[in-house]
Chains A and B, each alone.
Chain A
């Protein structure tokens, strides 16, 4: 089922309904992207629990909130509320797309480190889902006529800790990666909810008009 979902999401950009020339407009694809973020939230909750247990305490403790040392390269999801409200659709979508592109690369590095087969399988599944979300966001951007952000050469995020990068810091990075991913999924759900409301026609006015005609 998950494979089917991912395959559908991967092909979302190719679906004609997501093009601007299509009749339904971007509304359905935004709704699907919103649904996917909620699904990924649920999936990540399970994955993060398993992975943080694998790292051991204090990373799996619920109140563990370390400073964001060494995780500066991760895209930040937290943003000032006014700034967030002021984002236009293009910027909003672009930030989402870029964030998940980076996070996906880091996550694949995590996949390579995992020791147990079950954990590797869970990570691989989540990566596939996240790839689907990227495709979905790309579909929405295409439907709205926005170009996809081009990755700058040499800025491809990698997971190659330097010699001074201790194993504890590495674990901290993993913790922050999962935490940031979760925050991004929360934010994306709000982003797409906002987009969804904006793209929907005002149904109340139409209804009222029709009712007035009726009388």
Chain B
């Protein structure tokens, strides 16, 4: 009650006051003018801050007023800005208003004035302008200091594309000032003599350290500058989006725009504001992160939200909006408690739970089943809280992965993350019989059967194969069964059987059961009949094999081959084919080029007995021969030679040898018939013979030139090409006549040898016949006969015993004939003849004893009987020969020379013995009696004594011991 009475009093007082006011206005219009106007400067922002108040208002009175503000530059008459500012005014309230100048405030003097008017409907009568305030002058220049030059604004920060006004203030009137933008001179507008203004439009971003602007005076070293920092345009956030995972928290994300590109990055702030329910409780959230922000969902089930994201930096503010229904922005959490239960060989059940997203919400869950890395089943299930899904048609003993994710069923926004579980199905009995093949060998009367089987595929095995059962059924004795259990992972076994026929059953077993049996029979007859081998051409895709269909009942065919033909283990492979198949392609990654593969095609009889049908051989890819044959050359003649290479193994080559190429080099320009010119890899030209028959292992090279040099080289060739180039073998054909010569000369030599041998064997006979020994008179049996009869009258006459009866001395001119052995041709050689008991004190006068028995000419021509004169015999030496004892010794030195050896030019003594015998060469007939030395004399005996006649008694016989034999 007291409160009411106090309020009523106050109201009445106010009414009284208004009444008084009205009475005053009516009498004198009340001026509500702005008062106490103050102007301050913010140089960095180039702002003028105005503050004033209105004093004439009544206490607690609030009126709407409008203030007109005028801003002039340089002089008051130059008004550059007029603005009406409306606001509610209280008594003594300090009012503020700011104005940003385009021109830096330092560049010019600014003046501000204002006036006010009441703009209130309550008091329409007060709607008139008050008086202007006085001009408030803002002159920053006066406080700049005493520097000669200033440039403004200082280090301003603007956005790319802005317009900027720059000015300089110079203190000196004389100096010309030049200003440069990035080194390029600017041209401005002279505001007053000391101030110049430059307008930069659409400034670009240049570098992070800012754009340099500087001014300098023409005189002196005055330079001033500023850095204009131009930032890149602040972009609005992109991809703004909000979602919730639990209906309690909203997570809003966005992509911030590019940065300012400046050295000092401008700080950016992001604010999130919800406008539909702008409650006082946190209507605005200042985001801590640059790209996301969380918002707590109010508990009053507000469904609609209108978010505003505001991005702000020093220069600009950007906003993006987002209006959405909360339930449409549900991003469910990943399912939990996910299990795979009741896993059998073919089925499994998956169960899971989901986080609730409201009381009546339903989630759509997606289940994916992965097998071997691929999706094999995909299913969608509606779930409220618990999910369950049965997975069927699974493979036994197989690893699977199942995963589940969920989304809002009614308003799909986003799938949750996957939750994944792995499981393996249970095993089942093997579904297929193992693929079995055999190799039969006969060893010592037994049949050795090697069984091979291929491991079952994963789909066929249905689990881990533990062992293989082999049952041998003797067909001859059907009641006899033999069981062998072979543990896995064996893929074969060897059985030694007798000659009986057997049927073999092979089964694969895992932990659950047994596979169907594979049956193969072995007959007592191995049936290795001779089948001709055919060649087959392989391709990149394999070998295309075909065979003739069998007329009888055939249950199928088997193609068998070795993947490693050279290997003892062979790696036997086989391929089962149906009874109606007559061709197949055998391919394998193991096939290598240049390897010969042999294929055997078997037919399988109704009794399951395989029998060989055909053999094929071929290369998957033929190569050139790897080596050349060792060639032997034979039958070399002047015109041909034969080559042979019988040891060459053509089958071991990496291709079918189609023939041979023989290269022959010769000096002949033309190739022989049967050959053609070929150029070798070293650019040499030769002749090439082609031998097309691969079985031909000899070749005769004919039509060659005798005594010519040839080189040959033989190489095999396959369908791909020839073998490696090797060294040429050199051969030279023999001369054409050499064989004829050999045919003649050899028998001749043989004959001569034979004759020589015969002669040697019969030499005694020959001697006797051709040149019997000349009897030596001294050894003659006559002598003994004489001696034995002691007949002094019967003797052999000695030459010394002959007394010459005439001596002819012939003087010859010196120098007419010279001998090669002559040492002193000018000196005559003296030969003392007839050294008898009658000694001569010196050479006597040359006396010639004429003996007419002999013809002069005959004595000159006949050499027999000459007394040789030793060329070395010096006069002094010869002088020794005067002694009768010395003569035989001197002559005994076999100085028996021909006539030519006798010095011809000197004065010589030619002695012709009268006992000269017509028998030549008998040394014993030499005169032993030294002749009388006589200078320049020639002695001829004139005494002729008949053979066998007695000499005069004055002649004495020499002793036998003095004979020189």
Contact = CB atoms under 8 A, between A and B. Distances in A.
Interface of A: 54-59, 61, 66-67, 69, 113, 115, 166-168, 171-172
B138 to A, nearest CB: 21
B221 A66 contact: yes
A56 B211 CA distance: 8
B494 interface: no
A57 B225 CA distance: 11
A27 B189 CA distance: 64
Contact of A168 (B182, B207, B208, B227): B227
A179 B812 CA distance: 132
Contacts of A115: 208-209, 263
A171 B221 contact: no
Contacts of A67: 221-223
B149 to A, nearest CB: 11
A55 B206 CA distance: 11
B207 A56 contact: yes
A69 B224 CA distance: 10
Contacts of B673: none
Of all A-B residue pairs in the complex, the 7 with the closest CB atoms, nearest first, are A57-B183, A67-B221, A168-B225, A167-B227, A167-B155, A66-B223, A57-B182
Nearest to B212: A56
Given A56-B207, A168-B214, A172-B225, 15 more contacts: A54-B207, A54-B209, A55-B212, A56-B182, A58-B180, A58-B212, A66-B223, A67-B222, A67-B223, A115-B208, A166-B227, A167-B155, A167-B229, A168-B227, A171-B227
Contacts of B923: none
A59 B227 CA distance: 12
A39 to B, nearest CB: 28
Contacts of B227: 166-168, 171
A55 B209 contact: yes
Contact of B212 (A69, A113, A171): A171
Nearest to A57: B183
B378 interface: no
Most buried by B among A54, A56, A115: A56
B226 A166 contact: yes
B154 interface: yes
B154 A59 contact: no
A54 B223 CA distance: 20
B183 A58 contact: yes
Nearest to A58: B183
Interface in B78-112: none
Given A56-B182, A57-B183, A66-B221, A166 B212 contact: no
B contact residues, range: 20 to 34
A67 B149 CA distance: 13
A116 to B, nearest CB: 8
Interface in B198-234: 206-212, 214, 221-227, 229
Nearest to B224: A168
Contacts of A55: 209, 212
A125 B813 CA distance: 125
Contact of A61 (B183, B206, B210, B225): B183
A168 B212 contact: yes
Nearest to B220: A67
Nearest to A68: B221
Interface string B228-266: 010000000000000000000000000000000001000
A58 B214 contact: yes
A167 B180 CA distance: 16
Nearest to B225: A168
A42 to B, nearest CB: 25
A166 B214 contact: no
A54 B155 CA distance: 17
Given A56-B182, A58-B183, A171 B209 contact: yes
A113 B264 CA distance: 10
Contacts of B229: 167
10 contacts: A56-B206, A58-B180, A61-B183, A67-B221, A67-B222, A166-B155, A166-B226, A167-B155, A168-B151, A171-B227
Nearest to B221: A67
Contacts of B210: 56, 167
Interface string B134-157: 000000000000000001001100
Nearest to B223: A66
Contacts of B224: 168
A54 B263 CA distance: 11
Q: Pick the most buried of A54, A57, A61, A113: most chain B CB atoms within 10 A of its CB.
A: A57
Nearest to A67: B221
A57 B224 CA distance: 14
Nearest to A53: B207
Contacts of B182: 56-57
A59 B222 CA distance: 16
Nearest to A113: B263
A55 to B, nearest CB: 6
Given A166-B154, A166-B155, A167-B155, A59 B223 contact: no
Contacts of A168: 151, 155, 212, 214, 224-227
Nearest to B151: A168
B807 to A, nearest CB: 104
A167 B206 CA distance: 16
Contacts of B226: 166-168
A167 B225 CA distance: 9
A168 B216 CA distance: 13
A25 B403 CA distance: 82
Nearest to A69: B223
Contacts of B212: 55-59, 168, 171
A57 B181 CA distance: 8
A155 B336 CA distance: 68
Nearest to B207: A56
A166 B182 CA distance: 17
A55 B207 CA distance: 9
Q: Which residue, A54, A55, A67, A167, has most C-beta atoms of chain B within 10 A?
A: A167
A89 B609 CA distance: 115
B9 to A, nearest CB: 58
A178 B129 CA distance: 63
Contacts of B222: 67
Contacts of A172: 225
Contacts of B155: 166-168
A137 B208 CA distance: 38
B259 to A, nearest CB: 12
Contacts of B207: 54, 56
B924 to A, nearest CB: 101
Nearest to A64: B183
A55 B263 CA distance: 11
Query: For B208, B223, B226, which residue has the most chain A Cβ atoms within 10 angstroms?
Result: B223
Contacts of A66: 221, 223
B743 to A, nearest CB: 91
Contacts of A61: 183
Contacts of A57: 180, 182-183, 212
Central interface residue in A54, A55, A168, A172, by most chain B CB within 10 Å:
A168
A58 B227 CA distance: 12
A118 to B, nearest CB: 13
A102 B209 CA distance: 25
Contacts of B223: 66-67, 69
A67 B226 CA distance: 15
A213 B865 CA distance: 103
Contacts of B151: 168
A55 B222 CA distance: 20
A109 to B, nearest CB: 14
A113 B154 CA distance: 20
Contacts of A59: 212
A152 B234 CA distance: 48
Nearest to B222: A67
A48 to B, nearest CB: 15
Contacts of B183: 57-58, 61
A59 B213 CA distance: 11
B172 to A, nearest CB: 15
